[in-house]
Each structure stands twice: as structure tokens, then as C-alpha cells.
Amino acid sequence: MKLDRQILDLAVPNIISNITVPLLGMADLALMGHLASQQHIGAIALGTTIFNMIYMIFAFLRMGTSGFTAQAFGAKENTLSILILSRALFVALSVAFFILIMQLPIEKLSFWVLDASKDVEELTRSYYNIRIWAAPATISIYAFNGWFIGMQNAKIPMFIAIIINVINITLNFVFVYFYDLSSDGVALGTVVAQYIGLSLALIFLLKKYPHLLPLWKWKEMMQLKAFKLFMRVNGDIFIRTVLLISSLSFFTIVSAQIGDTILAVNSILFQFFLFYSYFIDGFAYAAEALVGKHLGAGDPRAVKHTVKRLFLWGLMISLPFTAIYFSANDLILRLLTDQSEVLNNASPYLFWVALIPLITFPAFLWDGIFIGATASRPMRNTMIIASIFVYLPAYYLLTPVIGNHGLWLALFLFMAARGISLTFFAPRNVFRFSD
């Protein structure tokens, strides 16, 4: 079918782009997992948690930019398209400048929240003070990626992501094994790779879309009404993202409080969740582009048909993932670490890994659909419900009884609640356009 081809044309490049991210995380953990001390695994896990809290909070720029751009593309409004990108980059650089100014307070707050052993904390602080300088590049790339996806072009973000992560993995290996920089080398490799990625995004803009650049005007970019709408939608997504990252970071924080071994175990097992999430997010990104385009073009029937096909694809992707995670999780685990203590302690929790795909895919797909519809308020509300009224109560009720299993079950209830809540809100906020 033509629609299936459109979905795959957008989803496959996004899947390739997305998978490079957890592959990088796995490579980093594998590098640390084969060093002499497990504290390096914990340092990478906590350092990544800090930057997830810092950077991924501002992933609203990618999401908001994607939805607005897709609708402008569907309506064939070229001037609006370039203005959306310029607004996103303006916000991105403003946020990055603020982060660099607030570097020390953010560090103090992060380590006040995090609770780890002295050795892990010392390694994490050093990692943080290097990687923080990637902020302008990292956040600007979010804006560019959202814009390219909204323009129905998933190949450019794919190429940029591949280059970034190949360079990052290569530099990490060189810095760790040839310069003996351990976790600091991973941080330095990330900084260099991110600025190379930003340079590539600018080159693609100049080469692929030169006809849009003369349409840009400062006065139109800063038009108050348009900027307020852009910031309102992004504000809702910001709150949603803060709660999401806080919930996922809570998983790591609690793991660290249990002990270095459980922190290492949960950090490695969590890579299965991240790998799948980045894979299925390729279809969510396709949803952003297609739903936004059809709404911009005033075609609500196409919206409904697209949503149905996306969920069919989600199910078809989730079933084989479940089979692979069920049958090969121990093999994959051994690729990530050879530390016998970590392997032995991970075994009781491997069955959770097999449940990840089927439980979580509705939430990921609905996110993309709602972003394409720029229906940001229900996204915010469902995240409030899932994180505050499901995840936290489940954690505090279950972990005293079943320990680390309770933490994993709380995480799964959180993801299921997101999918169910968004399904409930969809008729009014996505399909209302067909009324």
C-alpha cells in the first residue's frame, strides 16, 4: 500500500537514526564493563542520567518543531516552515547559554539528588564537567532534527545521527584504551561528536533548502502571537518531558540507592528498554510527519487511516522483539559485560526484558500521533497521571514487598498507564479534526 510505503520511508531512516543512540550507550557501557572496576559502569549510568535530565528535558524542541513544521509542509507554507526552524534554534541557543551559565548550580543540584558511592560520584563529577560543553550543539540538533522530520525528510537526521555516533564510538574507544581516560574519555568523545553533528545539520540546510533562506525575516520570526503559540505547545511538551525524564531517572536513582551491583544490573538491563524505545520511536516519528501533514492539508480521513496502519505496524514490530528478548536476553547481556557478579545478579530480572515491547509500544506511537496534531495539553496531562498517580504509588507500595522486582513492575505500570490514557484522550484531541 502507498501509505505503508510512506510510513516505512519515514520510519526506517528514523529507526536507523534512533538505534545509533542506544548502540552508543551499549558501547559506552561495554567499554566500561570490561574495565577492572564496576564503578565506571555506575559513573556512565549516573552521568547519562544527569544529561538525560538536562538535555532530554529540552527534547520538546524536536517534538514541537516537528509537529508545527509538518502542518506547515502539508499546507505548503514555505515561509512559515523556515520561521519555525529559526524560532526553534533561537530557543535552543538561549537554553544552551543558560545551561552553561548555570553549570555549577546544576552540578550541585544533580549530586544532591543522586545518591551513589564516593568513588562513583567522583568519576561522575569529572564526566559531567567535560560533557556539559556539548550543550549548544546537542540542543540545536534537536531543533534541526524536528524540522527535517516535519519536512518529510528522515534521511538527513539519519545520516547526521550515524556520523555523530560512529565518530563518538571511535573517539570513545581511542580515548579510553589509548589515552587511558576511562569515563572522561567517553564524555570528551561525546562533545567532539556533537559539534561535528551540528556542523553537518547547517551544511544540509544550506545545500538542501537554499530556496527557503531568503524567506526568513527577523520581524516575522519574533512575531508575538506565533511565538506565544510555539512556546505554549512546547511548554506543555516541556512539562511532559520533564516528568518522563524524571520518571526514568528515578529508576536509576533508586537503583543507585540499592547498591553499586543493582545499579550496574539495572543500568545494563535498561539498555534493552532504550534499544526498543528508539526502534519503535522510528514509527512515532513517522506519525509526527504524516499526521501533521494530513492535518495541515485538511485531510482527516487520512489521519484516521494513518493511525490504524501505525498501530498495525507497532504490533508487527513488537511481536518479534518479544520473541528475541525472551530467547536471547542472556546472550545479549553477556555481550555488555563479563563481570560474573553483575551477570549472576541480573538473571532473576531477565523476564522483565521480554515484556518490554508489547507493554510499551502504544505509548510511543500515541506520542508521535499527538505531536503531529500539536495536541500537547493531553500529552502533558497523561504524563501527570502516569508518573504521579501510577508510577510513584506503585513503587512505594511494591518495592518494600518484592524489592527490585517492584521497581521494574512500577516502571511497566507507568508505561501502560501512558498508553491507556492517551487512547482515552485521542477522540477529542486527534480525531476531533474529522468532526
Lowest mean pLDDT among 21-25, 184-188, 212-216, 238-242: 21-25
Grid cell at residue 62: 524536536
Q: Is the pLDDT of residue 269 over 80?
A: yes
Q: In the predicted model, is pLDDT for residue 169 greater than 70?
A: yes
Give me the helix-helix angle, 118-131 and 182-208, nearest 10°. 30
Show the cell assigned to 231. 512556546
Runs of H (alpha helix) within 151-223: 155-173, 182-208, 218-221
Mean pLDDT for 389-402 is 94
Average pLDDT of the residues in 95-123: 82
- The count of structural domains within the chain is 1
d(CA 100, CA 178): 30
Q: Is the pLDDT of residue 384 over 70?
A: yes
Give residue 259's pLDDT: 80
Give me the percent of the chain exceeding a pLDDT of 90.
Answer: 43
What is the percentage of the chain residues whose pLDDT exceeds 70? 91
pLDDT at position 65? 92
- Helical pair 300-336 and 2-33, crossing angle rounded to 10 deg: 20
Q: DSSP states of 323-363 as a string?
A: HHHHHHHHHHHHHH---HHHHHHHGGGHHHHHHHHHHHHHH
Decide which of 421 and 76 is more confident.
Answer: 421
* Alpha carbons 116 and 125: distance in angstroms, whole number: 12
End-to-end CA distance of the chain: give it in Å, rounded: 26
Region 156-160 average pLDDT? 93
Instruction: Record the pTM.
Output: 0.81
Report the distance separating Cα 251 and Cα 254, nearest Å.
5
Cα separation, 213 vs 204, in Å, equals 12
Q: Kindly report each contact of residues 210-218 with a partner whose C-beta sits within 8 Å and lies 24 or more positions away, as own/partner.
A: 211/78, 212/78, 212/81, 212/82, 213/82, 215/78, 215/79, 215/82, 215/83, 216/82, 216/83, 216/86, 217/83
Instruction: Give me the DSSP letters along 12-72.
Output: HHHHHHHHHHHHHHHHHHHHHHTSS-THHHHHHHHHHHHHHHHHGGGGHHHHHHHHHHHHH
Write out the residue range of the structural domain in which residue 240 sits.
Answer: 2-434
